Structure 1
Amino acid sequence: MGAGLRRLGCALGLLAGLAACETSDLAPRNTDVAPHQRPDGLKPEPPAVAPPKRRSLASLDLERFYAQFETDSLARGLLRTDGGGPDTPFTDTMLARNFERIALAEEYERGEGLRPSRGGYGAIKKWTQPVRVAVEFGDLVPEDQRVQDTNMVTQYVDRLSRITGHPITMTGGVSNFHVLFMSEDDKAMIAPRIREIVPNVTPSALDLFDDLPRSIHCLVMAFSATPGGSDYNQAIAVIRSEHPDLLRRSCIHEEVAQGLGLGNDHPRARPSIFNDDDEFALLTTHDELLLQMLYDPALRPGMTADEARPIYTAKASTLLGGQS
């Protein structure tokens, strides 16, 4: 213990001596000797910090536009979330007819961007392989919105899997159904990302992203392994992140369901989200039945309307108990 105290005493004495020297009149106040310059590279310069990215006026303007659109629609009784009710009855005959209009017709010419379809019926289009869904976000989508949107997609994917009986799950790994939430400021990223996912995508399918009209709230593109094929193996949905909550959820419901094979809209389909009148925001009971019909194993990709009609007509009758 004595040695320890001595060491402490010596240390205190040294500190006191240094302090006395620093305040002594003998210590020079000024000197003509220039200090040595610090060698270059001894202390690296701090990295330049990029200023935080800010949303453009165009993106903020779209956000206001869609917020007003949602408010006006709700005031007019649109964007319903009740799934249909006593005011929207339908029979098995109506259900079968709507299935034909929505599952066998197409809204746009395949591979031609927003060019309207010439009409007529095509073939049954659906997935036979498991669907693995992943979400992606543009750089300026806020973190809380990313969490909210991921949760909405996850819940909806679980519901679609139960409805169809088909394996549809979320994944953090290799995916084949990509849901992209992008803002106006991210539009330069969209076409390269789509080309990365589907290298042989036609240029006309990508051109529309250069100047997407405000009237297009969201869209989906589905692809098969062979050109013009009916067995889907990739799909990409693009949803504007400027939408308010209900419109984003509405886009999730419609585009993911369309990417499963219900590719068309029809003005007489009711109660349904596959109708451009915006009466319903979310998947309805009618739409659930359409998905059950589409994913009946008896309906195979590539079937024509004539081949498929007896199958989906019988299925509609079974689902609704023959309510003609």
Structure 2
Amino acid sequence: MDLHRPFRILSALPLLAALLAACDLLDPNVDASLKPQARPTPPVAAAPVVARPTSEKSASLRSYFAQVEQAQLSQGLLRQDGGGADTPFTADVLARNFERIAFFNEYDGSFGGAGGSSPLNRWASPVRMEVLFGDSILPSQRRADTTAVRDYARRLGRVTGHPVTMGSRPNFIVVVAGEDDRAEMLAKAAARVPGISQRSLASVREMPRDTYCLVAAYATGANPNVYTAALAVVRAENPDLLRLSCIHEELAQGMGLSNDSPDARPSIFNDDDEFALLTRHDELLLKMLYDDRLQPGMSAAEAAPITRIIARELTGGPL
């Protein structure tokens, strides 16, 4: 009998009697090892990731940000072309924009007010990023966001010449969470990276309605101008392009370009939202920031003669 063919049990007791009778007919000289062996217990499948239902507040924000994105696109904002013939800039403009973006802070320590002038800040150790997701994020969105952060980390590393990767022992956490799970994920981020300030966590738990995302960088080592940790927060309620725009701006600002300027163009470091994604102009700012001729702790005045030379080298202008 082929035991692999499907069959139906018509009567349990008669079948058992027949099997017992068959046992009496077995040759005792047959090797017992030829008998069918018991199959191992199959592993228990992991429970699928299921997004937690969102609150009414989160759903309202999702609708609001979708309207914001649509309104900006209808006005020709959130450009993804990196600039072009309509956005020329010279070496002097690049140097000026670098000074305003790298030597000033966008906010004070509480994210509540405008920041002031600042020495040059950047990383010295390799940057290792990790993305933490709130329970409200669907698996498909997690995959898309992880890919976006990984690809952008590679780009930041390539542009700056500084190691930027996704890996173990993270020092730069990217939290993607909504209104319902942001506090929980911020606590997890603080547990993952030493040096993240509880004071700053208290500030970002309650993000203003018009804030899509933000970043905080920390210098907890011997040099107060060398970053040792960073935390970026991206609202889960953002639609696709605003979400990607947040990744581009906040991660670049977390590298040390901490301010925005209304005169920077073509640039994501401008609150007018004309550009959604990192531009060629912005790549040059990052190159300048990690040029070996500049050092953490330099003031704008100390760096100015050097940044003018670097800007001319990068743009091909006369020295």
Report the TM-score range of the alignment, normalised by the length of the smaller protein: 0.7 to 0.9
- When residues 302 and 254 of structure 1 are mapped into structure 2, their CA distance, relative to the original with a 3 A threshold, is same
Answer whether contact 1:131 1:167 (CA < 8 A) is retained.
Answer: yes
Secondary structure (helix, strand or coil) at the match of 2:184 reads: helix
Which residue does the alignment assign to 1:217? 212
Q: Following TM superposition, by how much is the alpha carbon of 1:114 offset from its aligned partner in structure 2, in angstroms?
A: 2.3
- The CA distance in 1 between the partners of 2:151 and 2:253, in whole Å, is 17
Q: Following TM superposition, by how much is the alpha carbon of 1:180 offset from its aligned partner in structure 2, in angstroms?
A: 0.6
Specify the code of the residue in structure 1 equivalent to 2:111. Answer: G
Which residue does the alignment assign to 1:305? 300
Secondary structure (helix, strand or coil) at the match of 1:289 reads: helix
Give unmatched runs, 5+ long, in structure 1: 1-11, 19-50
Which residue does the alignment assign to 2:35? none
Give matches, 1:46-195, under 5 Å: 53-109=52-108, 111-117=109-115, 119=116, 121-171=117-167, 173-195=168-190
Q: Following TM superposition, by how much is the alpha carbon of 1:194 offset from its aligned partner in structure 2, in angstroms?
A: 4.5
Paired residues, number: 276
- The CA distance in 2 between the partners of 1:107 and 1:228, in whole Å, is 21
- When residues 228 and 189 of structure 1 are mapped into structure 2, their CA distance, relative to the original with a 3 A threshold, is farther
- The CA distance in 2 between the partners of 1:134 and 1:202, in whole Å, is 18
- The CA distance in 2 between the partners of 1:273 and 1:206, in whole Å, is 25
The percent identity for this pair of structures is 50
Which of 277, 286, 309 pairs up with 1:282?
277
Specify the code of the residue in structure 2 equivalent to 1:88. Answer: T
Q: Following TM superposition, by how much is the alpha carbon of 1:228 offset from its aligned partner in structure 2, in angstroms?
A: 8.3
Give matches, 1:220-239, under 5 Å: 220-226=215-221, 229-239=224-234
TM-score (norm 1): 0.80
Give unmatched runs, 5+ long, in structure 2: 1-10, 18-49
Answer whether contact 1:190 1:209 (CA < 8 A) is retained.
Answer: no
- The CA distance in 1 between the partners of 2:205 and 2:110, in whole Å, is 14
Answer whether contact 1:91 1:323 (CA < 8 A) is retained.
Answer: no
Report the RMSD for the aligned CA atoms in angstroms.
Answer: 2.3
Whichever of the two has the greater Rg, that structure is: 1
Q: Following TM superposition, by how much is the alpha carbon of 1:198 offset from its aligned partner in structure 2, in angstroms?
A: 5.5
- The CA distance in 2 between the partners of 1:264 and 1:249, in whole Å, is 19
| Pair 1:259 & 2:254 matched | yes
Answer whether contact 1:113 1:206 (CA < 8 A) is retained.
Answer: no
- The CA distance in 2 between the partners of 1:250 and 1:201, in whole Å, is 24
TM-score (norm 2): 0.81
